[in-house]
Amino acid sequence: MTKKVRTAVIPAAGMGTRFLPATKAIPKEMIPIVDVPMIQHIVEEAVRAGVERVVLVTARHKESIENHFDFNIELEDSLDRKGSRELAELSRSIGKLCQVISIRQKNPMGLGHAVLCAAPVVGDEPFAVLLGDDLIDSKIPCTRQLVDLYERESASVVGVMQVPKTEVIKYGIIGGHELDPRTWHVQELVEKPAPDKAPSQWAIPGRYVLEPAIFDCLRRTPPGRGGEIQLTDALQLLARERKLLAYAFDGVRYDTGDRLGFIDATLAFALRRPELRSGVVELLQKHLKTDQN
């Protein structure tokens, strides 16, 4: 019987240099999309997918991420006393989302190493991996879509999206046998290939559901591109030894690790909120008019 996916691993140990100077003192994961930190969006996706606990793989100076998912008794009591019960419950609801466990990646040895750091907590169970730089907006959570396929096929799954040929160098790219218009049996994975070396234009933007066998593959994976242990390289090993699927998820992906992608996500999420939409539209029109003048 296929085991339930109860755990999600969220690597959050990066320095966030692309968002300096903001990230000099604030973890990039805590930068908000409107008023909700990026990391909260990722955790909420995992919870909506049925995950019961989240393993945050962090580093030094990331304590504010852990604090965000804890209760703030002083703040919440103060809000209650002032009659701001809605805000108090909003704060408490974050602490109630799920069980959060934090593990430090003491050496910055790559994404694959960060996932391996979670092995003692995950144990011998399947688990999801969600990268914090990728915000995916969809009716059915992207992670849930992958979990559904994992449960049907009892095989590890990577989420994929089609990208222009000129952009394959930014991603891990899959190659393999197409099973249906959305699903592939993966036979090859290449980390950030040159356009003429890419096996396809199907890229992995940061969503995975993996069998615990990936941990053994990671232990056997030598440092690769950039001298780091690449998750893509370990997945290549997994694909040779076991069944690995790719699924073209339904949803809109925002690269919030990129400044323009972050602005795109902020505008999209702000325009979806009834209390903000008209004001945001007015601001955009005002700035566009100013630029034209």
Structure letter (DSSP) for residue 225: G
pLDDT for 5-58, tens place per residue? Answer: 999 999 988 888 888 898 888 999 999 999 999 999 999 999 999 999 999 999
Distances (CA, A) of 262 to 15, 19, 160: 17, 10, 20
Query: Which structural domain range is residue 80 located in?
Result: 7-257
Number of domains in the chain: 1
Q: Using pLDDT thresholds of 50, 70 and 90, give the confidence band for residue 292.
A: low
Answer whether residue 169 is part of any domain.
Answer: yes
CATH code at position 50: 3.90.550.10
pLDDT for 174-195, tens place per residue? Answer: 999 999 999 999 999 988 899 9
Does residue 85 surpass a pLDDT of 80?
yes
Answer whether residue 154 is part of any domain.
Answer: yes
Answer whether residue 180 is part of any domain.
Answer: yes
Helix (H, G, I), strand (E, B) or coil at 208: strand
Answer whether residue 1 is part of any domain.
Answer: no
The torsion of the CA quartet 228, 229, 235, 240, rounded to 10 degrees, works out to 110
Query: What's the rounded mean pLDDT across residues 156-163?
Result: 95
> What does pLDDT average to over the chain?
92
Q: Whole-model pTM?
A: 0.92
Does residue 293 surpass a pLDDT of 80?
no
Answer whether residue 72 is part of any domain.
Answer: yes
E strand residue ranges, the chain: 7-11, 32-33, 36-37, 53-58, 99-104, 127-130, 134-137, 156-162, 172-180, 183-191, 202-204, 207-210, 244-248, 252-255
Answer whether residue 273 is part of any domain.
Answer: no
Answer whether residue 291 is part of any domain.
Answer: no
Answer whether residue 270 is part of any domain.
Answer: no
